Structure 1
Amino acid sequence: MISDITPLIAASFREEKNLVGKYALARVDISLLQEHIEKQNALLDIYLSREEKEVFCRFSYPKRKFEWLGGRIAAKYAAILYTSQILCENVTKTQWHSIEVSQDTHRKPFLKSSSDLLLTLPHISISHSHGLALGLASCHPCGVDVQEITRAIERVESRFVTPEEKKLLRNYFPDEEHTRKGLSLIWSAKEAIKKASTLQPLPGFLEISLKNAVKKDGYQLEMFFSRNKNQQSSFHRVFTILYDEYTLALTLNETKPC
C-alpha cells in the first residue's frame, strides 16, 4: 500500500551521483488505502493530525477524499525516508499524526510538526493520478508529477507544448502511441517545474521550454524558463520515467540551497 520508490529513480539515472541523498520518493496505492481505511477507520488517528482528520471528514466525494489522503500519507512517508537517510532518525507509523501537511497562501504543501519528531522539516511535493499518489521530499524546493497516459493528452497539447518541442519529441517517440507517452512526459516535467518554483505568479506551461532530452533508462529533460525577453533564462533538469501506465517526473530547485 505504501512504498519507497526512491531506488526506482536512482536505478534509472545511475550516473547522476549528485542526486544521491538529496530526495526521497514514496507512493501510495489509493484503492488499497481506501480498502484499509474502510475496514479500520482508527488508522486515521495514526496517519493524520487532528486538523487533517477534520479536513478529511469534510470531503463529500470518496474519490477526492482518498486522493487527498493518499497524497498526505505519501508526503509524510517521503519526509520520514528523507530525514532517516540524512540524519539517521527513525520514525514509526504510530507517530505520523505528529507531522502535518499544510498549505501556504499559494496552496503549496509544506510540513509542520507538533513535536520534535523530525528535527529538520524538508520541502515536499505531492501528486496523484488515477489510483496512484506520490510524495517527494528534499532539502531543496522540489516538484513531482505523475500522469496516467491517455489519449486525452493529445486534445490539449497546444496548451502546453510548442511545435519545436513536438519535433524534438519525435526523435525519441516516433509513432502515434509513443508520441502520446512523450507528450505525457513533457506535461509531467512542466508540472514538476511549476511545483518546484518559488516564483509568483507560477510559470505558465508555454513559458517553460524543452531544449534537449537525454535518454538513459529514463529521460533527463533539459528545460528553460523565461517570462520575457529581458529576463535571464533559468535552467532545470527534470528526471522522468515511464512507470507502468503512467509518466513520472521530479525536479529539485537547486538554485535554493539546503
Structure 2
Amino acid sequence: MRWARNVRLGDWTVTLVDVHVTAKSLADEKRRRAVLSPQEAETYNALRFEKRRREWLAGRLAAKLALRRRLRASGGTAPPFARIAVSNRDGASGPPVSPIAGVVSISHSHGLAAAVAGSAPVGVDIERLRPFNASLRTVFLNDAERAWLGRAEAEQPELPTLGWAFKEAFCKARLIGIQDGLPGPEWRGWDDNGRLLWRWPLEAAPRKKDAIFANWQAHGRLIDDYAIVVVGASPKRKAERT
C-alpha cells in the first residue's frame, strides 16, 4: 500500500499509515519537528523501545491526517501538523485527546497505524488476522458468541479477529480499558455491507445513563490480512440533528 490512505467504513473515514515508511521518512529530528508539537516530541523521546516509538509516531501522524481532513470537510483551515497537538488522558498510555472539538481514536498493529476523528464518540481498532485460542475466547466472548462463532468460522476464518477488533473499538469509544469492557456487547456477526451486528445481553446490560450506546453503529472491513473496525455514534445522525 501507499504510505498513507483513507478507507471508508460506514459513515466514517479511517486513515491508515505505514509504520515502517513513516519511521524511515521521519528518522531525522528536523523532519519530526515539522510534524510533532514540542510536547509530542518530548513524549516521543521518552519512549524507551524503538518498536513503540515507530508505532506511536505513525499513530500520531494518522491522527493528524484524520483531524486535518475533518477540519477541511467542515469548511475550516487545516493548520500545520506540528500545531495539531494530540495529547493523552492519564499519561502516555491513556486514550488520545483531540486538540479540536470532538474526538480522535488511534490503533496500530504489525506495521499499520489507523486513526479516525469525529464530532461524537468513536473508536477504531486494527488487527492483523490471527487465530484465537480457547482460553482467550472465554475472555472476550460470551457463551452465545462462542457457540455461533464455532459454527461460522470454518467458512469465515476472519471472524474471531473481527470480534476482537469490535470489542476493542467499542471500549475505545467508551473511553474505558479493554479489561474493563469485556465481554461487553454481544457480537452477532456482520452483514454484506460491512455492518457489525450486536446487542446488549441481559447480563451485560448498560445502566440507564448508557442507553445512548443502543444507537451506536459498528462497521468492519478486511484489507489484505488486517481487520479494521469502527464503533461509535454515527456522524451523519449527529449532523441530521443539528
Equivalent pair of 2:131/2:161 in contact (CA under 8 Å): no
When structure 1 is superposed on structure 2, of 165-174 and 238-247 the one drifting more is 165-174
Runs of 4 or more, structure 1, over 4 Å off, are 152-155, 198-203, 225-230, 254-258
How many angstroms apart in 2 are the aligned matches of 1:148 and 1:224?
26
Equivalent pair of 1:2/1:74 in contact (CA under 8 Å): no
Equivalence map 1:30-109=2 (5 Å) = 30-38=19-27, 40-87=28-75, 89-91=76-78, 95-105=80-90, 107-109=94-96
Q: 1:248 — aligned with what?
A: 228
| Count of residue pairs the alignment pairs up | 231
One-letter amino acid matched to 1:61: F
Q: Pick the aligned partner of 1:159 from 120, 136, 139.
A: 139
Deviations 1:65-95 (A, max 9, x none): 01111111111110111111122x3436xx1
Q: 2:174 — aligned with what?
A: 197
> Which ranges in structure 1 are unaligned for 5 or more consecutive residues?
14-18, 113-119
Equivalence map 1:95-244=2 (5 Å) = 95-105=80-90, 107-112=94-99, 120-152=100-132, 156-169=136-149, 172-175=152-155, 178-179=156-157, 181-197=158-174, 203-210=180-187, 212-224=188-200, 231-232=207-208, 234-235=213-214, 236-244=216-224
One-letter amino acid matched to 1:24: T
Structure 2 length as normaliser, TM-score? 0.82
Equivalent pair of 1:79/1:122 in contact (CA under 8 Å): no
Q: Which secondary structure state, in structure 2, belongs to the residue aligned with residue 186 of structure 1? A: helix
Once the 2 structures are TM-superposed, how far is the Cα of residue 5 of structure 1 from its aligned partner? 1.6
One-letter amino acid matched to 1:102: S
How many angstroms apart in 1 are the aligned matches of 2:206 and 2:72?
43
Q: 1:239 to 1:121 in 2, by over 3 A?
A: same
How many angstroms apart in 2 are the aligned matches of 1:131 and 1:155?
26
Q: CA RMSD in A?
A: 2.9
How many angstroms apart in 2 are the aligned matches of 1:128 and 1:230?
28
Once the 2 structures are TM-superposed, how far is the Cα of residue 103 of structure 1 from its aligned partner? 1.2
